[in-house]
């Protein structure tokens, strides 16, 4: 017994009703299909079907379109025809739909006596279908119960707008008869993709193997067989559903790339064509390999940061990071957003899982720093040694460097007399490892001081490229030793 009929204890049958005289042409199933899936739950479907058209007006039926099609985005291209009207029939044929369409109409009930096997036929009018079926049977009101009694329902016909498969119908006016290709193009929700990466780091070789997989999800309600597949990485296109749960903050983009990507350019986006056709079944998740970079130069390092000027009560653990490039000599291509699972070879050469990170869309030539967790043997502590009020003359002398919204700029003007302060910060780094380490350290929150923070002195030169609101240093800490970084900041408060 079918699931829908069991709900009412019914066996359903249907007798077709002759259709009205009309030129109706079925284009058959899907033809040559190409699917472009964008970041976000959005896809472009292109379906070319060879169709034999009569001359004059005809209603073309396109079954097997996505159930989550955006009808307003449909375009149909074919030679020698004009589009008159289009409709999307998304009400699919089912026992429930048949009964709902029969409200106000008569059906035939066939009841079977379990003891004798005799059948009794009665006509009944369907009054309502709201959590159950209410019938008028010869003037008495009955409710079809789910009691497994042998009852069948015969409908007089199938409603015209109920379809066995999602169907788009287009009325066209063709100038001539004959077979020709018709290309249907539309946007659909319910199709998405994401990249997933597996990286294996070899400490001895200072190299990393990076493999990339595309994970496809099809929740469009329709499968696409033997389709050409193009994946587009973009920041804003598509239907944004919010960040994925568990992603956390993306991996640090140490420097943005400027190299051209191997991926195809599509407007201001990167497109990744899959070399082989693939079938994307309905309600399916599948993976396709798209990246295999071996022996990518990589280094293990550490990162740490402090927000605004403050003294921390105790030393904190630095974050363990693995840095590599997407440029030439590295991965060699742009990397679409996705999760990276990192493995490291142990002393016996076996791969061990050490952490997971997430990267955003990354252009070619960028440097990525994957964070995998806290390093218990590399620590840092921030200390405010002194804070003093400055005179106007002191402030003017320190105006050779200023951190503003636009980064580090040279300043030559003399400021109006106001209250200025100099903060003497000391950052202490310790390393309990038997080898030297480098900590990428950042002081954040500089924009908090009236957008005007100056750095008259620092014991180590900062990196040339500075992020907005931050200043960054690469601090080398010797084996089983410590390093102190001292910096003076002049601010308006």
Distance CA 475, CA 483 (A): 8
Same domain, 58 and 117: no
Question: Are 425 and 470 part of one and the same domain?
Answer: yes
CA end-to-end span of the chain: 78
Same domain, 107 and 67: no
pLDDT at 163: 67
Instruction: Work out whether strand 133-137 and strand 75-77 pair parallel, antiparallel, or are unpaired.
Output: unpaired
> What angle (nearest 5°) sits at the alpha carbon of residue 475, between those of residues 469 and 476?
165
3-class state of residue 368 by DSSP: strand
Residues 6+ apart with CB under 8 A from 275: none
Q: Are residues 86 and 101 in the same domain?
A: no
Residues 6+ apart with CB under 8 A from 476: 436, 437, 438, 483
Tokens of 99: 């009964």
248, 118: one domain: no
Residue 283 located in a structural domain: no
Question: Which pLDDT score is estimated for 147?
Answer: 56
Specify if 308 maps to a domain. Answer: yes
Could you tell me whether strands 56-63 and 420-431 are parallel, antiparallel, or unpaired per DSSP bridges?
Answer: unpaired
My answer on whether 109 and 58 are in the same domain is no
Q: How far is residue 478's CA from residue 5's CA, in Å, rounded to a whole number?
A: 76
Same domain membership, residue 45 and residue 138:
no
Q: Which two tokens stand for residue 2?
A: 């079918």
Q: Which domain holds residue 436?
A: 203-212+234-258+291-493
Residue 67: CATH number of its domain: 2.60.40
How many Cα atoms occupy the beta-carbon half-sphere of 246 within 13 Å? 4
In a domain? residue 9: no
Domain assignment of residue 444, yes or no: yes
468 occurs within a structural domain: yes
The pLDDT assigned to 19 comes to 39
For residue 86, what pLDDT is reported? 78
As for how many domains the chain has, the answer is 3
Tell whether 302 and 378 lie within a shared domain: yes
Structural domain includes residue 169: yes
Q: Which stretches of the chain drop beneath a pLDDT of 70?
A: 1-22, 88-93, 145-150, 161-164, 234-269, 399-417, 450, 465-467
User: Do residues 390 and 478 share a domain?
Assistant: yes
Together in a domain, 87 and 98 = no
């Amino acid at each position: 017994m079918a699931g829908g009929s069991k709900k009412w204890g019914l066996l359903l049958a249907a007798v077709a009703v002759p259709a009205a005289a009309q030129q109706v042409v079925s284009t058959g199933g899907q033809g040559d299909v190409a699917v472009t899936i964008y970041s976000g739950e959005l896809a472009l479907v292109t379906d070319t079907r060879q169709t034999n058209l009569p001359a004059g007006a005809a209603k073309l039926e396109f079954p097997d379109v996505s159930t989550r099609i955006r009808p307003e985005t449909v375009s149909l291209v074919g030679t020698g025809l004009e589009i008159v009207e289009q409709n999307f029939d998304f009400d699919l044929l089912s026992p429930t739909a048949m009964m709902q369409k029969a409200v106000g109409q008569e059906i035939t009930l066939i009841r079977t006596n379990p003891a004798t096997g005799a059948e009794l036929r009665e006509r009944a009018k369907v009054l309502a279908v709201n959590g159950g079926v209410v019938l008028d049977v010869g003037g008495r009101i009955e409710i079809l119960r789910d009691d497994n009694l042998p009852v069948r329902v015969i409908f007089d016909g199938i409603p015209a707008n109920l379809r066995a498969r999602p169907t788009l119908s287009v009325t066209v006016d063709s100038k001539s008869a004959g077979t020709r290709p018709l290309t249907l193009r539309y946007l659909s929700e319910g199709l998405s993709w994401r990249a997933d990466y597996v990286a294996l780091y070899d400490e001895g070789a200072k190299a990393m193997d990076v493999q990339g997989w595309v994970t496809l999800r099809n929740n469009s309600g329709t499968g696409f067989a033997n389709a050409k597949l193009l994946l587009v990485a973009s920041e804003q296109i598509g239907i944004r559903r919010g960040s994925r749960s568990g992603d956390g903050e993306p991996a640090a983009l140490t420097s943005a790339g400027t190299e051209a990507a191997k991926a195809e350019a599509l407007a201001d986006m990167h497109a990744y064509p899959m070399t082989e056709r693939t079938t994307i079944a309905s309600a399916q998740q599948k993976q396709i390999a798209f990246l295999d970079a071996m022996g990518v130069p990589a280094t293990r390092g550490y990162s740490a940061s402090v927000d605004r000027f403050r003294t921390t009560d105790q030393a904190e653990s630095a974050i363990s990071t693995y840095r590599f490039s997407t440029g030439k000599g590295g991965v060699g291509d742009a990397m679409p957003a996705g999760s990276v699972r990192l493995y490291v070879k142990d002393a016996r050469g076996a791969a061990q899982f050490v952490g997971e990170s997430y990267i955003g869309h990354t252009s070619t030539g960028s440097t990525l720093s994957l964070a995998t967790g806290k390093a218990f043997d590399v620590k840092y502590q921030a200390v405010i040694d002194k804070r003093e009020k400055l005179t106007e003359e002191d402030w003017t002398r320190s105006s050779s460097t200023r951190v503003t919204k636009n980064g580090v700029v040279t300043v030559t003007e003399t400021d109006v007399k106001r209250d200025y302060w100099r903060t003497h910060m000391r950052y202490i780094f310790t390393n309990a490892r038997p080898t030297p380490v480098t900590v990428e350290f950042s002081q954040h929150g500089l924009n908090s001081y009236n957008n005007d923070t100056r750095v008259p002195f620092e014991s180590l030169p900062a990196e040339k490229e500075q992020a907005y609101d931050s200043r960054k240093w690469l601090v080398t800490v010797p084996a089983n030793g410590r390093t102190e970084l001292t910096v003076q900041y002049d601010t308006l408060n």
